[in-house]
Structure 1
Amino acid sequence: MKLYAHQSVAEALTILNNEGQDCLPVYDDDAIIGKITYAELRIFANHDEKPGSISAAKLHFDLRTVLPAIRAMQTAQYKKEQKQLKVRKWTTRLSSAAVIAVVLFGFAWLLFEPINMPFTDQEEVLTPDSNHITLTFTNGEKIALNSEKDGVVIHASQLYYNDGSALLQEEISPDVLAKGIMVLNTPKSGMYQVSLPDGTKVWLNSSSQLSFPSTFKGSDQRAVQLTGEAYFEVAKSETPKHLPFIVTTDKQEIKVLGTHFNVNAYPNNLDIKTTLLEGRVQVMPLLYGKPLANADPAVTDPLQVMGTRNEAGNLNLNRAVILQPNQQAILTDQHITVKPVDGQLAIAWTKRDFTFRNMPLEDIMNVVAVWYDVDVVYQQQTIGSVLLGGSIQRSDKLADVLATLSLASNMHFKVEGKRIIVRQ
């Protein structure tokens, strides 16, 4: 019996308990990367929590991340014990049996005593805000959408919530609903769903904006514009002539061929990530809003063609590509990198979860910054490249999230108002 690096703490605890094992080796492919015990996993899951409680977020961490975190905990505890021994000047009259008892007590202390992290009182109020969503019309009229509703539907020049309840239509001019561009905005910490006039469903993440026409009738395409992140489930065109669905961001254009896909295009990010779950999409790099000269025709299966590959074995292209399911296109400086991914991880945010595997700390903190409306500062440039795996929930308090990340990465996080300082 053995454990694997990609397995979660919850899986490992279940296996150890069911098999009646106290300790099992952890494998990464065919290589052993360490051993882990049931007691160590319990300590990790309980750490910084009330006695007897379990951190749900830590149960999702993978063993690749947990192993070094446990070693760091043990090292920190050992150093503390040595310091206490020196300060108290214990004498040789202390029996060896008593020494063993003290060490065991100190190790058990990890279950109940939290690590002193440099948080200020401010973190207690830093929880994800409720949704404050706005819908703006061509004439400048703006309405605030009900944050207690899951989303809004635009259909046949009508506007209502997903549950069928009215959206105060009397406040909106019929002419405005019948034509023009609508703009849906979500604030930091907010997210919302919209059903477009053609039946396409869109989940809009925090700090994002989606612009779309109130109707696609009379047009030769279904075009929308995105800033931020969104997950699309594109409806088939009901017209006799197939209308392509096109998503434009600041630096790329996506032509949809009937599909489910996610786009992450926040302005402050260095790259744009397009992840395909079902169907096919064509991703084309743009320069000043226009396709690159050599961007067409698209590569139909980018991972099967010859090209320059980076150290991770992912294909680098400077032309349009047509993605297959569970492929991700990463656009950086008009240059596309394509790699295989688990598509479900890219849309975990739609379920108010954030799951990451071998993700740089900087990318994780970018999500934290959006969720909690904070700025992140790194005292050393190399800190952001540390790779982590795990899962956090959108409802978690900032203090809990940072405590978990600190334990997993051996980094220190300090909250100063709306700023988080990260240091080793």
Structure 2
Amino acid sequence: MVIQAKFIFMISSEQQIFNQIEKSSNILISFPVDWNGDAISSALAFYWFLKKRGKNVEMAAAPISDTRSRAFSFLPGFSDIKNALDNLAKFIVSLDITNAKVDQIKYILSEKTLDFIISPKDGWFTKDDVATATSGYRYDLIITLNALDLESLGKIYDNNVDFFYKTTIINIDHHPANEEFGQVNFVELNAVSVTEVLFELMRDYKLELIDEDIATCLLSGIIYKTKSFKTPNLTPNSLAVTSELIKLGARREEIVNRLYRSRNLPVLKLWGRVLNNLNGLNDNQLLWSSLFQNDFAETGSVEDNLLEVIDELIINIPQAKLITIFYSLTENPLEEDKSAESNETIVGHNDQSTGLFQTKAIIYAVKNVNAVELVKELNPTGGRKIAYLSSSKPLAIFRQEITDILQNKLDKLSS
């Protein structure tokens, strides 16, 4: 009796990733709509890595108004990131010319239609001679970076759902909440950043392709995610990867100067206002501050600058789990009116305030807390890390409601 042994060789996720890349002709790299610094850096690094491998590759991410993403514009290739998928597929109109040849072709473009006028040399054409078809998609492989799910890609996904369902997806991430939506999923939970994950993939595949620009892009993501190595999630592996990247030519000083030593004056002034009004609950696990219409006007700052201020709070108060900034676009504080019985400063909707109440809040979850989930009953926008809320209530009332909700949720998480 002859026994035949069958050996099944499992292909690792790393091998599957580069097998798919080698088979592909046109590759799309995309990342979430929040333009996270780690995502931007990893997209640019992989973009140049694949180009050096001889691949046709493009990047696309849904547009964002937040000016923070511009901080990464010093990285090579930043301007190559598109905000929409143009010419994703071709629509083909075919005419059967077996029984009649074409003499002349014209077209007329009106507001709602495009009409083709085709004159035969002899005979005539009928509607049965016309056929239509859609060509294959422009890209044959999608690589997503730092995306928990497809919905996090925003309009890049929402406007092209069929394309995403019919095209192979490689999903590279490091978040535990990743939904593993790709045909190939590589989610490294022990990594601090997706750039750390990506470096190890690149190094093990083709180390010689990692030049100074690619190393700089990768290190930018790690520095951003660890707030220049100041956050408690820093690991020995992150430091080891950083050391390797610097040896490969990563420009650490340039990164730090661009991201952390170039705060403009309005941001610094706004930072002072936030600190002046800063409050803490639950041993400073919940931090909140309030701003008014005049705070933006007097400092020359804008709403987008608030996320830069939150970055500074994260670095300087590492025990914080939730950071919330409340701000009003219509209220100004009244002049101080301290009674004999109270030291409380009265704040209200005074004569210089404009229109109806327009109050907002940014909730930033620092440590394994889902910001949107915490306040889901209030229909927030945003994602796991950042939730945005709007209200027509006065700031003081809105702030009390939200801090009560957050404190209650935080107590439940801690129990």
Q: TM-score, normalised by structure 2?
A: 0.22
Hey, which of these two has a bigger chunk of helix by percent?
2
Hey, which of these two has a bigger chunk of strand by percent?
1
Q: TM-score, normalised by structure 1?
A: 0.21
